[in-house]
Amino acid sequence: MTTMPGRGRDWTDPTCPVARTIDLVGDRWSLLIVRDAMDGAATFTEFQRRLGIAKNILTDRLRKLVDHGILATSTAPGGKRHIYELTEAGQDLFTAIVALRQWGERHAFGADEPHSVLKGVDGKAVAELRPESRDGKSLTAKTTRVYKVDQSS
């Protein structure tokens, strides 16, 4: 059963979408599981082999990702294993994963340090993600503002 967002949960910052997202998928292992699911991993064994994660931690993170509607499970033919696949909400994390990847390419590697590269199925490089206003103007932290929810009402 999927947990409804916002219900029965203590959020770090209840009105902040960034904080709520971090509460749901912000630990190291959850995002790496989502990344690997996007890259084709679908079984407990595949996630465990790719990540080298302890089985108890993997079990916990997979359960949380399913509970929060980011992954869904089905039973593999033969009925012995679960198959995990990204839900629509999980697929929606693609842009966030790409943004983290691109930040890492710019800031987490030395100039000559090798790293994996994400390309489209046509072999072309993925364009750099940059936020834009609805009219196409480039946005930065200096040109945007968060409007807080008034919680006094």
Task: Write out pLDDT tens, residues 81-107.
Answer: 899 999 999 999 999 999 999 999 999
Look at residue 1 in the predicted model and tell me its pLDDT. Answer: 41
Look at residue 2 in the predicted model and tell me its pLDDT. Answer: 46
Radius of gyration of the chain (CA): 18
Look at residue 77 in the predicted model and tell me its pLDDT. Answer: 84
Its CATH class, for the domain covering 13-92, is mainly alpha
Of 1, 77, 85, 76, which is closest to residue 36 (Cα–Cα)? 85
Look at residue 92 in the predicted model and tell me its pLDDT. Answer: 97
Token pair of 53 as six digits: 């994660």
Whole-angstrom distance, CA of residue 94 vs CA of residue 107: 20
Model confidence, pTM? 0.86
Whole-angstrom distance, CA of residue 144 vs CA of residue 142: 6
| Percent of the chain that is helix, strand, coil (3-state, to 5) | 40, 10, 50
Which segments of the chain belong to CATH 1.10.10.10? 13-92
Look at residue 74 in the predicted model and tell me its pLDDT. Answer: 94
Q: Which residues of the chain are under the pLDDT cut of 50?
A: 1-4
Cβ-Cβ contacts under 8 Å for 8 (sequence gap 6 or more): none
